[in-house]
Amino acid sequence: MRLVLLGSLAGASLVFFIIVFGGLGALSAKSQRLVELKQQSKTVDAQSANLAAAKKQVQQYAYFNDIAKGVLPSDKDQAQAVLDIFRLADQSGIAIASITFTASSLGTKAAVPASNDAATAPPTSAISQAKPVEGIPSLYSLELTITPQTGAGVPDAKKVTYTKLLDFLGRIEHNRRTAQITQVNIQPQASDQSINFTMTVNIFIKP
């Protein structure tokens, strides 16, 4: 009987240890799975919070799209841009000699004379050289070069001075069609202390 009891005790102890170690292993696996699920839950919560914040920002700044449509011209009318430049130059006391569009793939470079009638009819092929603006979908830029009238035949009231040039630059930069000046070259005129310049400007188009 004693041997039977000892054997039963040994068997019970063995089963106990098997159950304990098996239970600890299963508990450890469940615990690890619980940790992974909690981590996934935190990730999902963070993504949900970011998505909610993004949606809120989209709603908050959605009106910028309408503002951009109102600020940027939606037409491809170079004539209006040319007229704007002539008008701004006249307001600054500068007479324009020519406005030259960048070389077009449909033809060679063509200049717009200084007369008002010619100013309303710039080369129709100029739009072929409009380039997409990087990072802003559906926005294009078209480069043109502005040169003033110089020489003895220009009235004193229309000769270019540094003050007039600075005023003209400010007017160009605040115009919605010609908001970007990319280059300005200045050549002082020793004969009458006036200056000559060539100005490269980007016209922005948003069809």
Q: For 36-81, what is each residue's pLDDT tens digit?
A: 888 888 888 888 888 888 777 767 666 555 545 545 555 555 677 7
CA atoms within 13 A on the CB side of 101: 29
**pLDDT for position 117:** 46
Among candidate residues 50, 149, 144, the one with its CA nearest the CA of residue 90: 149
Q: Which long-range contacts (CB under 8 A, 24 or more apart) does 147-151 make?
A: 147/96, 147/97, 147/98, 147/100, 147/196, 147/197, 147/198, 147/199, 148/89, 148/94, 148/95, 148/96, 148/97, 148/196, 148/197, 149/95, 149/96, 149/97, 149/114, 150/97, 150/189, 150/194, 150/196
Place of tokens 């809120």: 56
pLDDT digit string (tens) for 25-47?
777 778 888 888 888 888 888 88
Contact (Cβ atoms closer than 8 angstroms) between residue 104 and residue 125: yes
Measured from the Cβ of residue 175, the count of other Cβ atoms closer than 10 Å reads 16
Cβ distance 146 to 123 under 8 Å? no
Angle at 195 between CA 193 and CA 198, to 5 degrees: 170
Express each pLDDT in 83-130 by its tens digit. 888 999 999 999 999 888 776 544 444 444 444 444 433 334 444 667
How many Å apart are CA 143 and CA 130, to the nearest integer?
Answer: 8
pLDDT given at position 90: 92
User: Could you tell me which residues come within 8 angstroms of residue 32 by beta carbon, excluding any fewer than 6 positions away?
Assistant: none
Task: In whole angstroms, give the CA distance from residue 47 to residue 28.
Answer: 29
pLDDT of residue 106: 40
* AA identity, residue 50: N
Confidence bin at 168 (pLDDT 50/70/90): very high
H-state helical runs in 61-161: 63-71, 78-91, 116-119
